[in-house]
Amino acid sequence: MPVMRRVLFIVLAAALAAVNAAAAAEPNPYTIFANARSYWLAQRYPQMLAYDVAVAVTEGGKQRVERYDSALDARTGRIVVDPVSDYELAHPVKPKGINLGLLFPIGKPLPPIDFLGVPHLAPTYSFGMAPFVPAPTPTPFDSAALVRDIRREFHDPNPRVSSPAPSPSGLQTIVVTAASARDYTIRLLGEEPVDGHLCYHLALHPTHDPQRLRIREAWIDEHTFAVWKLIDALNFKSGAGTTVPWTIRFADLDGAHYIAEEDANAPLRAGGEIYTRTTVRFELLRAVARMPLGPPIVAGVARGERLEEP
C-alpha cells in the first residue's frame, strides 16, 4: 500500500507540475494586445497617399459598386474625397414624373445617390488600437516615448520595467499585469491562421464606453504582433453601419500596414434599401508627391451624409 501511495503521489505531482508549466507558458493576452498597439504606433506611412474607396453592396440580388477618388495627408490626418463616385458618373439620376412646381412632385422618388454616404475614410485607421500616427519627420523615432504611450493607454502609472527587452521581432514587449483601469478585459481563445499568418485569437470585452471601445475579437500575428483581422461591434460614426458588427481585414504594402476591407456581418438598411451584403475596400493605394484633389468635402452630395470613422 505505501508503494502504491508513493506512485500515486508521484503521478499527481507530475501532473500538477505539467499543468503549472503549461499555465506559465501560456502567453498573457494583455501583453499580446499591448504589443499589437506597439506595432501600430511604430507604423510610418508615406506623407501623402492616393487611393480609391470602393463601397460594394448586394441589393435585391444585384451587386453594385461605387468608387470614390480619395487622398490622405498622413502628416495631419486630413482626408479629401471626390464626392461623385464612378457609379454616379455612369448612372446619372434622372427625375421621373412631372414636377408641378415645388409643392406637388409626382412620380417615383429618386434612389439614394450614395449607398452609405460619401466615404471620408483613411486606410491607416487603427480602430482604437492606437492614436493617429503622423508620417515621418526629421525627428528620430523615440522608442522610450512609445513605451510611455502604451503604458498611458493602459493607465499603468507605476511601471516596474524601465527597459523592456525587445521581442524577436524587434518590437518592445510591454508588461501590463498591474494595469489599474484597463479599457478591455481580454481572453486568449487560442491560435488560428489568418491569410497565412499564425495568430493569437483574442476576445475583448469593454470595461466602459462600449460605443467607443468597439473591438470584440482580434487576430494578432504571433511573430510580428500585426493585427490581421478584427471584429468590431459597430462601424463608423453614424448611419446603418452602427447597427451591425463588422469584420475588418488588413494587408501590408511597401512595409506598412493598411486596412484591406471591411465587411458588414449582417444585412443593412440604408436610404430605403436593404443591402444583404456590404463591403468597404481600399484599392490602388499609392504614395504621391502632392494631394491630387481639392479642399476636403464637408458633407455628401444631395443627402448630406458622410461616412467616417470616430
Q: What is the DSSP string of 90-151?
A: HS-----S-EETTTEE-SPPPPPSSSSSEE---TT--TTSS---PPP-SSPP-HHHHHHHHH
Share the mean pLDDT of the chain.
77
Kindly state whether residue 22 falls inside one of the protein's structural domains. no
Residues found in the chain: 310
Kindly state whether residue 120 falls inside one of the protein's structural domains. yes
List Cβ neighbours of 235 (8 Å cut-off, separation of 6 or more): 214, 241, 242, 246, 262, 264, 309
In the three-class reduction of DSSP (H, G, I as helix; E, B as strand; rest coil), residue 79 is classed as strand
Q: Is the pLDDT of residue 233 over 90?
A: yes
List Cβ neighbours of 98 (8 Å cut-off, separation of 6 or more): 106, 107
> How crowded is residue 259: how many other Cβ atoms within 10 Å of its Cβ?
22
Kindly state whether residue 36 falls inside one of the protein's structural domains. yes
Confidence of residue 188 (pLDDT cuts 50, 70, 90): very high
286-299 core/surface letters (b: 16 or more CB in 10 A; e: else): eeeeebeeeeebee
Kindly state whether residue 309 falls inside one of the protein's structural domains. no
pLDDT at position 290 is 87
Residues 33-62 have a mean pLDDT of 93
Q: For residue 60, which of 269, 268, 275 has the smallest C-alpha distance?
A: 275
Kindly state whether residue 48 falls inside one of the protein's structural domains. yes
- Please report, for the domain that includes residue 160, its CATH number: 2.50.20
Higher local confidence (pLDDT), 228 or 61: 228
Kindly state whether residue 13 falls inside one of the protein's structural domains. no
Kindly state whether residue 112 falls inside one of the protein's structural domains. yes
Number of domains in the chain: 1
Higher local confidence (pLDDT), 216 or 136: 216
Kindly state whether residue 10 falls inside one of the protein's structural domains. no
Confidence of residue 50 (pLDDT cuts 50, 70, 90): very high
pLDDT at position 85 is 82
Domain extent, residue 41, equals: 28-94+104-300
Q: Are strands 246-253 and 227-232 parallel, antiparallel or unpaired?
A: antiparallel
Helix H or strand E segment including 275: strand 273-275
pLDDT at position 199 is 98
Residues 118-138 have a mean pLDDT of 81
